[in-house]
Chain A
């Protein structure tokens, strides 16, 4: 069974080998999809985990107890172009710069390749232009 997760590492964990310990302990296979360190030195890691379902769950609860925020990704995020008013209030919230402002025509551009599906833009968009797709 394969599941995708986003791990948000607070600064104090950035230099610790948490993932490799986890993978060994619970016999998991993993594939890193995206990795990103913010200017505040917080780490964001998107990965697909494969292994025994119970073991995946144990692994997730162990990292959560350490203080790492874990989100599971069941879906992707899409921009509904006709609903976007190009206000740009989502842009500073995106942790991976998947949302940017074109400074020529002042339109908001979304790059799904960079998106880690953290969902912050969905909460932030006043006109519900950012949506989850299954």
Chain B
């Protein structure tokens, strides 16, 4: 029998909702039919914890005395430049920003030991960061320089706003060339020396609601250890991609733009990262609840690792040159076993996404919901679906 979100929320508030993780339901679905699962289970919680480059934070520092206008000037936090093209004391600090002094890849492969993602982690951890401002001065904002240290609690708003998180699925990266390469998918050894993936598979949010039937604008989520919301569909959103019979995409697919209050978050779920030869980034922990409204949703949330496929891509040539060629497909059960067979060769696997942390996030969200603290949101609207014609286009460049 179909349920409504209102009915589920009544049960949550009464402490009677039946909540399981997206991993637990895989086990339950091996023993029970979809009808009884859909009747019994109210909410399935998901989780993911991996580097998500398109992340960053809006910060408001409050006004200095006399006033300073950072807009149009320059600003750094712990030496890392932030975007200053906003109002007087609003900035946006992106996860991949690197200090001017960083040699980057001129000392190949660069170490990128500190960048925007690390500043965000330091702020969330309660550490003070050094703010340096160079402004041009105006009649109403006369001050030209600021040099001070600030902690997150000293700031007004700190809004984590990530334009692209939670890729529905992701490539498995390999290297078919004869030399080691340094990528955002990690160090890839030559001639299929390793295969790196980046998804929690059966625990990952958008793999468990492949058509985003319950996830949309305004959905409340676990975000970086606090609560956040889905603010829009993410950049590079691509719903019209290849899907397996169960509806699950075997490539990128959907993405989400996420928003939340950084002050509520925890450095346990927001971690700065340094990818050798690539750059700095931010690991983001996200968990999304999926209300089990009917048997279709019960079926999707129960899809196991062995039925979720990822596309293998060569990062030495096909990826950088956008050839669109692929090396094959493997499922997440194979990837998680530690070894996959590619082109007849046994290749060891590594993951950039932490399954342990994904499990922890799904478990925490389950507790929040079971404890009546966290209710399910009905999306204000749903995002473009596979039949919408919405596509992810390449860059238009001059011939």
The answer to whether the Cβ of A124 comes within 8 Å of any Cβ in the partner chain is yes
Cα distance, A91 to B275, chains bound together (Å): 15
Q: When A92-B195, A92-B348, A93-B350 are in contact, do A86 and B51 touch as well, CB less than 8 Å? A: no
Contact of B354 among A90, A93, A106 (CB under 8 A): A106
* Contact among B189, B196, B276, B356 with A86 in the assembled complex (CB-CB below 8 Å): B356
Q: Does B193 have its Cβ within 8 Å of any Cβ on chain A? A: yes
Which chain A residues (119-134) contact chain B, with CB distance < 8 Å?
120, 123-124, 126-128
The answer on a CB contact under 8 Å between A89 and B271 is: no
Most buried by B among A39, A87, A101: A87
Q: Which residues of A contact B189 (CB under 8 A)?
A: 92-93
Partner of A92 from B50, B194, B273 at Cβ < 8 Å: B194
Task: Compute how far the CA of A127 lies from the CA of B109 in the bound complex, rounded to whole angstroms.
Answer: 17
**How long is the Cα–Cα vector from A129 to B274 in the complex, in angstroms?**
11
Are the CB atoms of A91 and B338 closer together than 8 Å? Answer: yes
Residues of chain A within 8 A of B283, CB atoms compared = 85, 126-127
21 contacts between A and B (CB under 8 A): A39-B346, A85-B271, A89-B186, A89-B352, A90-B350, A91-B338, A91-B348, A92-B196, A92-B349, A93-B194, A93-B350, A106-B354, A106-B356, A123-B109, A123-B187, A123-B276, A126-B51, A126-B186, A126-B352, A127-B271, A127-B274
Q: Given contacts A92-B349, A106-B354, A126-B274, is CB(A85)–CB(B49) below 8 Å? A: yes
Q: Mark B185-207, 1 if CB is under 8 A from A, else 0.
A: 01101000111100000000000
Given known contacts A85-B49, A87-B50, is B350 in contact with A92 (CB within 8 Å)?
yes
Residues in A60-90 with C-beta less than 8 Å from chain B: 85-90
- Nearest B residue (CB) for A94: B348
Query: Given that A126-B275, A126-B352, A127-B271 are known contacts, is A101 also in contact with B357, CB under 8 Å in the complex?
Result: no
Closest 7 CB pairs of A and B: A92-B194, A92-B348, A126-B273, A106-B356, A86-B356, A106-B355, A89-B350
Verify if A107 is at the interface (C-beta below 8 Å from B). Answer: yes
Complex alpha-carbon distance, A85 and B268, angstroms: 9
C-alpha spacing A128/B118, complex, angstroms: 12
Q: State which of A89, A93, A120, A124 has its C-beta within 8 Å of the C-beta of B351.
A: A89
B339-394 CB contacts (< 8 Å) to partner A:
346-357, 359
**How distant is the Cα of A85 from the Cα of B121 in the complex, in angstroms?**
14
State how many angstroms separate the Cβ of B264 from the closest Cβ of chain A: 20
Count CB-based A-B contacts (< 8 Å). 73
Determine if A127 and B356 form an interchain contact, defined as CB atoms under 8 angstroms apart: no
Q: How far is the CA of A106 from the CA of B196 in the complex (A)?
A: 16
Bound-state Cα–Cα, A10 to B185, Å: 26
A113 contacts chain B at the CB level, 8 A cutoff: no
Chain B residues lying within 8 Å of A123, measured Cβ to Cβ, are 109, 187, 276
Min distance, Cβ B323 to any Cβ of chain A, angstroms: 25
Cα A123 to Cα B275 in complex, Å, equals 8
Residues on the B chain within 8 Å of A126, using CB? 51, 186, 273-275, 281, 283, 352
Task: Given A106-B356, A123-B187, decide whether A87 and B351 contact each other with a Cβ distance below 8 A.
Answer: yes
Would you give the shortest CB distance from B105 to chain A, in whole angstroms? 14
Query: Max chain A CB contacts within 10 Å: which of B276, B347, B354?
Result: B354
Complex formed: what's the CA distance from A91 to B335 in Å? 13
In the complex, which residues of chain A have a beta carbon less than 8 angstroms from the beta carbon of B195? 92
Q: How far is the CA of A107 from the CA of B359 in the complex (A)?
A: 11
A15, CB-defined interface residue at 8 Å = no
Question: Cβ of A128: which chain B residues have Cβ within 8 Å of it?
Answer: 113, 274
Name the A residues within 8 Å of B351 (CB-CB). 87-89
Given contact pairs A92-B347, A126-B275, enumerate 20 new A-B contacts (beta carbons under 8 Å). A85-B283, A85-B357, A86-B354, A86-B355, A87-B350, A88-B354, A89-B350, A90-B350, A92-B195, A101-B338, A103-B336, A105-B356, A106-B354, A106-B359, A120-B187, A123-B109, A126-B51, A126-B274, A126-B281, A127-B271
